Structure 1
Amino acid sequence: MTDMYFNINSGYLEGLLRGFRSGILTSTDYSNLSQCETLEDLKLHLQGTDYGNFLANEPSPLRVSVIDERLREKLVTEFGHLRQQAVEPLSTFLDYITYGYMIDNIVLVITGVLHNRPVRELLPKCHKLGSFPQLELIHIANSAADLYNAILVDTPLGPYFSGCISGGDFNEMNIEIIRNTLYKAYLEDFYRFCSTLGGTTAESMCELLAFEADRRAFIITINSFGTELTKDDRALLYPKCGKLFPYGLAALARCDDYEQVRQVAGFYAEYNACFESCGSGPGEKTLEDKFFEYEVNLNRKAFLYHFNYGVFYSYVKLKEQENRNIVWIAECIAQGQKGKIDNYINIF
């Protein structure tokens, strides 16, 4: 893919996206938001950013859940505008971005139904980037086989789902196994697709997807301690497209506790830094926070290169982090926990 052909097909959309990127909140914006005393103050400060009047029609008193919903809607609107004008292979690349949200939506609905929640209450909680027509029919499935054969076989997730069918009914354990098996197949497939695109896209996206695969491997391992999941079953859930593959994954599969996971991470400089600087005490950043910080750094770096699709993926991830930051600040204001309000992750 030459630079010339990239600009012919996708140059306008990349330029548009970089315009969107310039509107991402800076450290100064977060400092101003942190000084707010009420959610109405927060709304007023956001009006001075690229968010503009996106909360103008919301009645008082403003709720954090409403802010979260409007933030998602804005991202979905921007992404939808890009997707409608994209041509191959960018259109397929953007579709791949939505598959992760589809997986999360499926698991959310299944889990809700398992706890006797009506589907009509669950669907509004699903991320609209991962919406698809069959989602509202998931409640009729009683097992993974039913879910695949009756609902998901004709969706983009069908090929991923065929590898995690079991005959048993749904329970908390096999739902999480389904989630991680789907993500494993999805990340490996996305990695292969980006590799075939070549050029700067392959360079930036393979690094981003490798980190996502490794992060999932660490989290799966840590969350499996004290559960019925065997080491062999755990190893089957690891995506095999990260820097940990193959030796790091083999070492993780043998781990029995958190300290052994830290020892494995110690062989990889970028991950060792995350584990070494995290903690669980007051004011300390958790491992999840450190992973988010590292992800933000990788996604910022993607914008240093032109003529690549990685910026589209990175923009969505940076906006996700921005949404989490705003919601965190809003929650602290609403709950009167101003002492914790600075525990967000700066992007720029």
Structure 2
Amino acid sequence: MEGLYFNINNGYVEGVVRGYKSGLLTSSQYINLTQCDNLEDLKLQLSSTDYGNFLQNYSGPLSTTIIQDNLIKKLFSNYQYIKSQSSGKLTQFLNFINYGYMIDNVILMITGTLHERDKSDILKKCNPLGWFATLPTLTIATDLESLYSTVLIDTPLAPFFKNCISPDDLDDLNIEIIRNKLYKNYLESFYNWVNENFDEPDKSIMTRILILEADKRIINITLNSLNNSELSNQDKIDLYPNFGKLYTNNYINELSEVDDYEQLKSIVENIGEYQQIFSENNDKLKNIGDWFYYLEMELCRNTFTQQFTLK
């Protein structure tokens, strides 16, 4: 009965997404790609997969940048099609996914403007999943307050700018603080929305992914602020998302006082599933980013073991 009601609004979209999953490269196809001597060979190998036509409109010399750009376009096209077929909670869920990329684009535009980079070059680097109509106009503002009041106030990002507006000059450190505050507000809003609007198993699936993202940001903020005298302990706490395994287990104060790598490692390893993050004995996963990518991949893969879910 659950499946019957789910399929009324979302059955087609779930079928499309599972079709996209079946088009992912297999292990044998990856092995074939590793044997390619040049990018033309790679293009030829991909021609027999679901990626066969992603370069069909490009006739110039290949480069890794061209391949990456066209793969992003393919992903964006698939995503936009799913969104165009969605409704209700699913549409709002997809909007939240867009917001994360919008934040990245805003920070990229601000940073590029600060360093006087060419506007067209900055826009080319923006992710299409985070595009919005007034994004190109971000280059006109010289401070965050005017940027917010003239451009961002009319975008979906406006609610995430609470506690982000300050009279401080825009420099690299302040921009990074703004980025982390925006992500903190965004993740907390996303987490609360999921808990208020999703039923099981969607709620459990998505909260696990958001908790992992929150913990990753807490660890990265702590790691990047080691030996940084410009950030107080309270400054770090203000940047940490207010949920996650590290937050609910009351490690936040300890993490804010960490001043070396070994202290951070000893705290994080108290969380069972994070015990191997700092391991030096794994040849495949060389850094913390790889570990979190692996854990996120496992969670996303496991979502496909359940049917009739929005995630």
The structural deviation recorded for 1:60 is 4.3
CA distance in 1, matches of 2:138, 2:152: 9
Give the partner amino acid of 2:239. L
Q: How does 1:37-52 map to 2 (within 5 A)?
A: 37-52=37-52
Question: How many equivalent pairs are there?
Answer: 308
Q: Which has the higher contact order (CA 8 A, sep 6+)?
A: 1
Give the partner amino acid of 1:266. E
Give the partner amino acid of 2:139. H
CA distance in 2, matches of 1:18, 1:226: 46
Between the aligned residues of both structures, percent identity stands at: 44
Instruction: State the SS of the aligned residue for 1:153.
Output: helix
Out of 254, 258, 276, the position equivalent to 1:255 is: 258
How big is each residue's C-alpha offset from its partner over 1:12-39, in whole Å with a ceiling of 9 and x where there is no partner? Answer: 1011110111111222222111111101
Contact 1:278–1:284 (Cα < 8 Å) also in 2: no
Q: How does 1:193-212 map to 2 (within 5 A)?
A: 193-196=193-196, 197-212=198-213
CA distance in 2, matches of 1:277, 1:299: 25
Find the counterpart in structure 1 of residue 8 from structure 2: 8
Question: If the length of structure 2 is used for normalisation, what is the TM-score?
Answer: 0.95
Find the counterpart in structure 2 of residue 271 from structure 1: 274
Contact 1:148–1:162 (Cα < 8 Å) also in 2: no
Q: State which drifts further: 294-303 or 245-254.
A: 245-254
CA distance in 2, matches of 1:95, 1:266: 34
Instruction: Provide the alpha-carbon RMSD of the alignment.
Output: 1.6
CA distance in 1, matches of 2:95, 2:149: 23
Runs of 4 or more above 4 Å deviation: none
Return closer, same or farther for 1:2/1:164 CA change in 2, 3 Å cut-off: farther
Find the counterpart in structure 2 of residue 188 from structure 1: 188
Find the counterpart in structure 2 of residue 161 from structure 1: 161
Q: How does 1:1-348 map to 2 (within 5 A)?
A: 2-196=2-196, 197-227=198-228, 228-246=230-248, 247-277=250-280, 285-310=286-311
> Can you give the 5+ residue segments of structure 2 that lack an aligned partner in the other structure?
none
Question: If the length of structure 1 is used for normalisation, what is the TM-score?
Answer: 0.85
Contact 2:227–2:259 (Cα < 8 Å) also in 1: no
Contact 1:278–1:286 (Cα < 8 Å) also in 2: no
CA distance in 1, matches of 2:43, 2:227: 44
Return closer, same or farther for 1:55/1:85 CA change in 2, 3 Å cut-off: same
> Can you give the 5+ residue segments of structure 1 that lack an aligned partner in the other structure?
311-348
Give the partner amino acid of 2:158. G
Return closer, same or farther for 1:8/1:82 CA change in 2, 3 Å cut-off: same
Instruction: State the SS of the aligned residue for 1:133.
Output: coil
Contact 1:187–1:241 (Cα < 8 Å) also in 2: no
Return closer, same or farther for 1:278/1:217 CA change in 2, 3 Å cut-off: farther
Give the partner amino acid of 1:86. S
How big is each residue's C-alpha offset from its partner over 1:42-75, in whole Å with a ceiling of 9 and x where there is no partner? Answer: 1111111111121133234311111110010000
How big is each residue's C-alpha offset from its partner over 1:157-183, in whole Å with a ceiling of 9 and x where there is no partner? Answer: 100012211112210011011111111
Return closer, same or farther for 1:283/1:93 CA change in 2, 3 Å cut-off: closer
Contact 1:25–1:49 (Cα < 8 Å) also in 2: yes
The structural deviation recorded for 1:277 is 4.4
Contact 2:226–2:258 (Cα < 8 Å) also in 1: no
Contact 1:143–1:166 (Cα < 8 Å) also in 2: no
Give the partner amino acid of 1:236. D
